Chains A and B, each alone.
Chain A
Amino acid sequence: MTINSLQRCKPLLGTFVEVSLQGNCSEQALLNYSELAFDELTRIHGLLSFHDKDSELSQINIKLIAQPNEATKISTELSEILSLAQSLFTFSRGLYDLTIAPSLVFNEQLPNHLSLSEKAYGNFANLKFDNNIISTTKPLCLDLGGIAKGYAVDQAVKKLPPELEISINAGGDLYQNNWQENSVAVRYAKQYFAKRNIPMLNSALATSGNYYRNGKSAFIEPITKEQKKLHGCISVFAPSVMLADALTKIVLFMPKHECRTILELYNAQAFKISRFGFIKRF
């Protein structure tokens, strides 16, 4: 047997998802494995997309707005995401909040297919969930934009045999199983040459930046509801992509000394790269 490799890319999760596999098996076997990964990514996209009116998330959002006090059953996938989001909400004293969706809609960063009107919505503290049952004391709306891409990558990786060399990159949310001694280029501005090479420090890396957004910020501070400016980018290395994806927002909003504690707790490392390419480690 010889070592074969395969690289595929599909438009998924609202961005470009690249799956690279290498291993001691036939090219056809690699293709089949990549199909498994893409099928899983498509499935999770179908469940958790805010943009898709028929997704489970959109259906649950309709209920959380219309009948907040009624208990609703949610999928295991959503429940897994919400439990991490809940811990992060607590640790960050409300600065990591998935209920920011209405503000993002009014800021034209998300489509308004739920016909949200400008009124006060609840936050994550109003959300009650126990295993697979969810309810809220105030109408609210969830957006998983800052966590679900990472989760989808983690789930896709689980479908693949670990003896393969796996690399999945979902619009900057990157997973590599053999990350040791690898390096990665982090893009800190939209120009193609604005990249910094840094060594991989863990199996997952997520980067958040604003430079493709034409001046509008996709980052809204959940408590003050103010747009947060970010020149350059924030990158977080963590043991899972979901965690790395979520922690980039915590690093963005929390004071440096406070987010250090959270990063240590989750065994993560964070960097901020300025728009001129200077790296600062947290």
Chain B
Amino acid sequence: MGSLTDQLGDLVEDADVVLLFSPTASFYNRFEGTDSPVAVVAAENAVDAEEFVELPLPFENVRDRIRFGIEGAMDADVVDEGDEVVCVISIFGDAIDSVVRVSVDSTIHTGIYDLFVNSRADPGVIRDVFEVAIELGQKGQKGKPVGALFVVGDAGKVMNKSRSLSYNPFEKSHVHVGDPIVNVMLKEFSRLDGAFIVSDSGKIVSAYRYLEPAAEGVDIPKGLGARHMAGGAITRDTNAIAIVLSESDGLVRAFKGGTLILEVDPEEY
């Protein structure tokens, strides 16, 4: 019969790279001296790992987390297409409890890492906007779900491809996403119609913007409404990304280059 280790050993056999997701220092030290290269994927490099991929969101969806880690490792040239990657990750709770083996091929590439790291706006700004959208999705207004559309980056061009629906409440203000005041203003946000425009450095440029992009060739899943269509289309027309909170199903979606990149359920955070 043999022990479980014998049966499951082939899961980690001849792995090219090991990805550790948010390991503790002692756990990381255990991997010192192993044959295959080790990379750490975590919110911050607490273990001083040589190869490190920063996780901007704690992606509750494990597939997204693994995808982000692998794409980040590919960007850092730790992983190449065709490699066998073993991910050591936690699915339930905080402690590491799972080993996932992934074959890296072209289908793994969804652009989720690209969305955060290689967009015009700073990664920190995109993360902050995500957090605002997720919090807005959790709270809603008076218990009712609300929708919102944030267009992040390339603000000058976006402003020129949109028009104002009403007076801009952010005119001559210097509010940045991530400022503490933004959390206080969240409830107000949900009342405003139209899109929020956020600049590369995170300044909220305008609210109440009606986007007027050319919507040709935008490929977003059928069934999503006008807000998603407008958001998706503006990312095709400019170098911005769009982060959309859906009023009907409560999901936060991110668009880049006219395609849907990421779906996040605020209730899971």
Bound pair: A and B? no
Residues of A in contact with B (beta carbons under 8 Å apart): none
Q: Chain B interface (Cβ within 8 Å of chain A)?
A: none
